[in-house]
């Protein structure tokens, strides 16, 4: 069990650090460009991951920006814009709604008309307009 943890913990740390590095905005990266950090994490998983987590990202700036701007994720049921869009998607009650039988009759009539046109073309007759 200990052997598995010795392998899985650094692997998980490296994966987390790499994803964090890739998704971090360029303005929040410190000391080196973001691609260099990503390469460092991939080439030296343990050292690169720990370095990224300690000094690579300016975490204080990103926390202040998230709370000050209100740019945090909001659940759909708490988002007034999303709820408003649901109301806009509802069909207009003034519009007539066709039932399934009407659609079926229209499709059958169209199918009959097309079959008749095909039969006329096969017999060499001129199609009716």
Q: Where are the alpha helices (DSSP H) in 24-99?
A: 34-43, 45-51, 59-69, 80-89
d(C-alpha 79, C-alpha 25), whole Å: 25
Task: Determine the pLDDT at residue 15.
Answer: 92
Could you give the 3-state DSSP secondary structure of residue 57? strand
| Nearest partner of 53 among 16, 27, 25, 7, judged by Cα | 16
Q: How much is the pLDDT for 68?
A: 43
Q: Give the mean pLDDT of 13-37.
A: 87
End-to-end CA distance of the chain: 80
Q: Tokens 């994720």, residue?
A: 73
pTM over 0.75: no
Which residues are registered as beta bridge partners of 29? 57
Mean pLDDT of 2-25: 87
**pLDDT per position as a tens digit, 54-103:** 888 776 654 554 444 455 777 887 888 888 887 766 666 655 656 788 88
């Amino acid at each position: 069990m200990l052997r598995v943890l010795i392998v899985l913990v650094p692997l998980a740390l490296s994966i987390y650090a790499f994803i964090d590095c890739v998704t971090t905005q360029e303005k929040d990266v410190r000391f080196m460009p973001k691609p260099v950090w990503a390469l460092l994490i991939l080439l030296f998983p343990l050292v690169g991951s720990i370095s990224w987590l300690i000094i690579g990202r300016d975490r204080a700036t990103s926390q202040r920006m998230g709370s000050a701007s209100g740019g945090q994720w909001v659940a759909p049921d708490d988002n007034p814009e999303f709820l408003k869009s649901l109301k806009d998607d509802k069909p207009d009650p003034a519009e007539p709604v066709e039932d399934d039988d009407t659609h079926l009759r229209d499709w059958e009539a169209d199918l009959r008309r097309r079959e008749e046109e095909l039969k006329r073309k096969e017999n060499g007759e001129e199609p009716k307009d």
